Structure 1
Amino acid sequence: MATTKIEFAVPMSCQSCVDKVSNVLNGMDGIKNFEVDFSQERVVVESSLPIHQLQAALETSGKRGSIKGVVRFTEVEEKCVIDGTIDGLKPGPHGFHIYSSGDLSQGCDSIGDHYNPYNRPHGGPNDNIQNRHLGDLGNILSDESGRAAFRIIDKHIKVHDVIGRSVAVTAQADDLGRGSNISSKMDGNSGERIGCGIIARSAGILENTKRICLCSGVTLWDEKGATS
């Protein structure tokens, strides 16, 4: 059975936390490999199990083991409003970007680079479009509970151009291209991608009926008016 690497941000304050997480994952059927990184407070699991099952297992160790949330892209009056909430983060700023691909076959490792159709250096969301990636959305700020609530307004992004791509949040803050090293002009020294998701079209009322396959649990979509 195919396996996928999934990364979780897991608060860990001591070696005992590492041991608890490791004890939960050790010997679980469906887990090929895992890494518990205390310094980065993250757990990377290579597994054939669904995310919700891994999340439930991690939570039995007493740790909240998932990054999850909802992000909306809405075009209004020649602008795009990006708003949402993301839970499970370490308190503080985290980089937030649109990536070129919606391929989650290897988790956040396979979503490509920042969405950059104009081949520009990395920058911040308020920079001139000549001095930023189109996917550069700056930072979101997580509070002490691990929640980041945000609202970003961008005058360059078009929803139809980003459907099928992905968004991701990173472990560290984005320096907005102001750093002195090469990485600053590539990703803002924002570190690893710790949570990501595909940007999908949201259906209107009575459009794209959603069904769950009883045999597999897979979500099925019926495109209104589609023909085979």
Structure 2
Amino acid sequence: MAAPAIRRSWLASVYRKVGSCLFNSVFIAQAVPRGDDMDSAGPTKLEFAVQMTCESCAVKVRAALEGKPGVSSVSVDVGKEQVLVESALTSAEVQALIESTGRRAVLKGIGGSEHDLGSAVAMLAGVGRIQGVVRFLQLSEQRCLIDGTIDGLEPGPHGLHVHTLGDLTRDCLSCGEHYNPFGRQHGGPGDSERHVGDLGNIVAGPDGRASFRQEDSQLKVWDVIGRSLVVDAGEDDLGRGGQPLSKRTGNSGERLACGIIARSAGLFQNPKQICACDGVTLWEERDRPIAGKGRSKAGTETPAAHL
């Protein structure tokens, strides 16, 4: 009977190790249509590390970004290999534009036009090949930006919720219920009567990728750090489905993937160039799995963090 407990403890420790290494790092993404239930958000600033060696590189990056719908401003520093973009696009969409020039790009920080009040990130993993990154940025006391990309989903809508517990000892089953500090019924992100953790639906395209960006007026970064983010198998009916679970969970099915919400670096706060836990550099990390065989640079493999 001790084996399952040992396995759960091992999984939790692996997740913490891998997560602490990657929280301020990278997720490679391309754009797909946003979910219909997601509200659009105003411009934010995105800091990218971009492999550039000369001014002609900068010219091509500027040309790929300037004048594009949703892009407000672009600043390129070749010496620092840094590109700063103010945009209303998802971070995945901006990254895809930069990489259309043939340069590799890594998102290093995200911030608002005004002084932000904190940021967080959740690295999601789960059933099969599902994995993703979702970032939270508190733009003001009333506005929290949520920007993410999740791969490996079945095409179509999937419920997305913040859950009360940051506990992965029984995979996503130990994350607790939806974060609901005011004891309200389940609803949609635009409803006044909703769980604080109710974030509506994300929509995966034919390739299984969901890329999304929204602002939320109830979620606060400082309240959800240490909790978990969960993506579900089915569509959230936003409490309007008339099913027994509609007013509790949105009847969105089983929990497919989850991750602990951790504090993360904001704009210009991430100097990371190498992962101290396994020696993988910022650029090498792009071509390696999150964990397991092929991750370690020195040949000492980190066990896979299957949730």
TM-score after normalising by structure 2: 0.49
- In structure 2, what is the equivalent of residue 211 of structure 1? 276
Deviation at 1:206, TM superposition (A): 5.2
Deviations 1:190-226 (A, max 9, x none): 000000000000033359x9631798959xxxxxxxx
| Equivalent-residue separation in structure 2 for 1:100 and 1:198 (angstroms) | 10
Query: 1:163, 1:93 → 2: CA distance?
Result: 25
Instruction: Compute the RMSD of aligned alpha carbons.
Output: 3.1
What secondary structure does 1:3 align onto? Answer: helix
**How many angstroms does 1:180 deviate by?**
1.4
In structure 1, give the amino acid aligned to 2:185: P
Q: What CA distance in whole angstroms lies between the structure 2 residues aligned with 1:110 and 1:182?
A: 22
C-alpha distance in 2, partners of 1:179/1:217? 44
Aligned residues: 164
Whether 1:124 and 2:188 are equivalent positions in the alignment is yes
Cα distance in structure 1, aligned partners of 2:271 and 2:208: 35
Alignment match, 1:172 = 234
SS of residue paired to 1:211:
coil
- Structure 2 residue aligned with 1:3: 7
Q: Which residue of 1 is the match for residue 145 of structure 2?
A: 81
Given residue 3 of structure 1, which amino acid in structure 2 is its aligned partner? R
Cα distance in 1 for residues equivalent to 2:170 and 2:161: 18
Aligned equivalent of 2:170, options 98, 106, 113: 106
SS of residue matched to 2:248: helix
User: Identical aligned pairs, as a percentage?
Assistant: 52
Paired residue type of 2:7:
T
Aligned-partner SS, 1:184: coil
Looking at structure 2, the residues matched to 4 and 157 of structure 1 have their Cα atoms a distance apart, in angstroms, of 30
Tell whether 2:202 aligns with 1:137: no
More strand per residue? 1
Secondary structure (helix, strand or coil) at the match of 2:247 reads helix
Structure 2 partner of 1:61: none
Counterpart of 1:146? Answer: 208
Query: 2: CA distance between counterparts of 1:65 and 1:121?
Result: 32
- Equivalent residue, structure 2, for 1:59: none
Query: In structure 2, what is the equivalent of residue 156 of structure 1?
Result: 218
**What is the identity, as a one-letter code, of the residue corresponding to 1:157?**
L
Indicate the residue corresponding to 1:187 in structure 2.
Answer: 249
Q: CA deviation at 1:4?
A: 3.9
Structure with larger RCO (C-alpha < 8 A, sep 6+): 2
Q: Report the residue type matching 2:135 in the other structure.
A: R
Does the residue aligned with 1:185 lie in a helix, a strand or coil?
Answer: coil
Distance 1:210 1:165 in 2: 24
Question: Secondary structure of 1:172's match?
Answer: coil
Instruction: Check the 8 A contact 1:137/1:152 in 2, yes or no.
Output: no
Cα deviation for residue 93 of structure 1 reads 0.2
SS of 1:110's partner is helix
Alignment of 1:66 with 2:129, yes or no, is yes
CA contact under 8 A between 1:122 and 1:184: conserved in structure 2? yes
Query: Separation in 1 of the partners of 2:149 and 2:172?
Result: 19
Residue 205 of structure 2 aligns to which amino acid in structure 1? D
Measure how far apart 1:65 and its partner are: 2.8
Deviation of residue 157 (structure 1)?
Answer: 1.1
**Structure 2 Cα separation of the partners of residues 65 and 170 of structure 1:** 14
Q: For residue 118 of structure 1, report the CA deviation from its aligned partner.
A: 0.2
Which amino acid is the alignment partner of residue 182 of structure 1?
P
Structure 2 stretches lacking a partner, 5+ long: 19-126, 279-297
Instruction: Measure, in 2, the Cα distance between the counterparts of 1:102 and 1:65.
Output: 21
